[in-house]
Chains A and B, each alone.
Chain A
């Protein structure tokens, strides 16, 4: 018994080492995309910014009783080009999509949209990234799902593609009453 007591410190040390090593390994496999968003379940923040026509838009224009995707994009963002066709497909299926033109100039944004197609209902210009900070945005692209009352229900950091949409976003979209026309 006394002998066993001698090993107590070693046993404590080894179990702690295993515990912390396991925790560290778990951390490593997590990417920035899976960092907890502080904003799930919070109301979409108030804002008053211009759309791409220079007219002022606010939260009331964004929240209209429909489940909505809010996509943060910029003409400077290569991945935004990548996800554009998939977002277009979603819009074709009746998904409401609003853009936040993040840290961009209206001229460059309009060029980009005329080149790739403007699939958005409207755009919120956020040239200084101020709304982006309120949304806890890291960069572009990011996509939020907000429900009919404007509560943030999901946040995607990185591009939206088939896999992300069907496995993560579609269930949330449908849960909060989002409609899909076909498929």
Chain B
């Protein structure tokens, strides 16, 4: 039952993705290029519209950029080269995923740092509780130590 629900959820999520995809007709020489194209236009932001990916935007500039990405893929450029092409022209704004360097490094490090601090705190609390339990000689029965 749970697996079925999960399957349904995934299916619906997929449909939702398809629903806002802009429609251009591009022929790709290989299936791999088509998949990379789909991935790139999801990951890159329309430079003009703040909160839409290239895939979701109908603005003329997004259509132009999709055409360029198609061309570059067919020319054999790597994903990194294509992203760099757009960053050189439109700035890092076009990347939904900020780079792991400079002042955006904070965004990447903070969650890990917070989680680390949380684990240390939990560890300390447990350690202290256990030591207290040992000291007061109450650790008989269900605990191993």
Contacts and interface: CB of A to CB of B under 8 A. Distances in A.
Interface in A21-37: 32, 35-37
Contact of A35 (B61, B68, B91): B91
B89 A138 contact: no
Interface string B90-125: 110100000000000000001000000000010000
B68 A138 contact: no
B87 A139 contact: no
B33 to A, nearest CB: 20
Interface in A57-97: none
A129 B91 contact: no
Interface residues of B, number: 16
7 contacts: A16-B110, A129-B60, A130-B68, A132-B64, A133-B65, A134-B89, A139-B60
A129 B61 CA distance: 8
A136 B47 contact: yes
B50 A32 contact: yes
Contacts of B60: 103, 129, 139
Contact of A133 (B50, B68, B87, B110): B68
A44 to B, nearest CB: 13
A4 interface: no
B129 to A, nearest CB: 15
Contact of A139 (B48, B65, B89, B90): B48
